[in-house]
Amino acid sequence: MPNTQTIPVNDIAMHVRTEGAGIPVLLVHGFPLDHTMWDAQVEVLAEHCRVIAPDLRGYGATELADAGDPPKITMQQYADDLAALLDALGVDEPVVYAGFSMGGYIGWQFVKNHRDKLRALVLVDTRASDDADDARKMRLKMANHVQEWGAEKVAEAMIPKLFAESSLDALHPMVARTREVISATNPLAIAAAQRGMAERPDSTPDLAGINVPTMAIVGAEDQLSQPEEVQRVVNAIPNAGLVVIPAAGHMAPVEQPDAVNLVLTEFVKSLNA
């Protein structure tokens, strides 16, 4: 049985799964998902470290609370929630922050504002740049209409972009499960995150100043954070490494869990050495 709890963090009750002991590893999910995207990582990592996998504000079993009118949650707010969660859990040593996609965008704010809580960084299928104008417009369109559309329509639109062509079988449990999670997401949380992502800053200028061990992972067929772009991010961070996962799209941790687990466990072990 997964070990989950719901604890007060800032103005919300935050749902989190924690397993294992040792160096703390914070697994931060993407948009519009929840902590279960990391299920295949949690089991394996928990043999080597203390895994902390929360549902971000508005996702999974974590409440949204008042996100404003119109709803918006900044990457900074999510990062502040995570820092407060670590305090609430009594985590008193710096963590390995592993952020998937939007979890990575939040990670740039965590690096900037909670550096004292950071031991190392793992960037999973994510990027540092802000949005191009048309991408920003698309986000705001979704934010403005998702309540009338419903989250199922968001799932419909996103699924083909999330998986590699070779793993995109609608009947495959991982694809069906991802569709289910997106479809069950509160449309207000979707709108709030889209507005927050639309106004996220370009973090490229901050990369040269990252002075913790950093590892990046990207699916070879990721359409949303393409390997070439992730390579540029890695080149800008001193001593960062990159592993490209074959036969995976954006959802590399779900599509190729064994390959991703190997990179994560080797990286965590190298920190312990």
Residue nearest to ligand MLT (CB): 30
What minimum distance in Å lies between the beta carbon of 155 and ligand MLT? 12
Count CB neighbours of 223 within 10 A.
14
What minimum distance in Å lies between the beta carbon of 129 and ligand MLT? 10
Is 146 in contact with 189 (CB distance < 8 Å)? no
What minimum distance in Å lies between the beta carbon of 95 and ligand MLT? 20
User: Residue 172 carries which DSSP code?
Assistant: S
Q: Is 30 in the site for ligand MLT (CB under 6 A)?
A: yes
Please, which residues have CB within 8 angstroms of residue 39's CB and are 6 or more apart in sequence? none
Please, which residues have CB within 8 angstroms of residue 132's CB and are 6 or more apart in sequence? none
Nearest CB to ligand MLT, comparing residues 85 and 102: 102
Residues 175-214: x where in contact with ligand MLT by CB under 6 A, - otherwise, as a string = ----------------------x-----------------
3-state SS class at 159: helix
The C-alpha atoms of residue 100 and residue 223 are separated, in whole angstroms, by 14
- Of 36, 41, 74, 101, the residue at the interface with ligand MLT (CB under 6 A) is 101
Tokens of 31: 């948009």
What minimum distance in Å lies between the beta carbon of 111 and ligand MLT? 17
Q: Is 31 in the site for ligand MLT (CB under 6 A)?
A: yes
Nearest CB to ligand MLT, comparing residues 111 and 124: 124
Please, which residues have CB within 8 angstroms of residue 225's CB and are 6 or more apart in sequence? 101, 104, 125, 126, 127, 218, 250
What minimum distance in Å lies between the beta carbon of 89 and ligand MLT? 24
Query: Angle 102-113/75-88 helices, nearest 10 degrees?
Result: 70
Q: How many residues bind ligand MLT (CB under 6 A)?
A: 6
The C-alpha atoms of residue 15 and residue 88 are separated, in whole angstroms, by 12
What minimum distance in Å lies between the beta carbon of 93 and ligand MLT? 27
- Of 102, 122, 182, 252, the residue at the interface with ligand MLT (CB under 6 A) is 102
Nearest CB to ligand MLT, comparing residues 24 and 249: 249
Residues 133-172: x where in contact with ligand MLT by CB under 6 A, - otherwise, as a string = ----------------------------------------
Helices and strands, number each (H, E), in the chain = 10, 8
Tokens of 110: 């965590």
Ordered strands of the 4-9 beta sheet = 4-9, 12-19, 50-54, 24-28, 95-100, 118-124, 214-219, 241-245
Q: Is 38 in the site for ligand MLT (CB under 6 A)?
A: no
Catalog residues that contact ligand MLT under the rule CB under 6 A: 30-31, 101-102, 197, 224
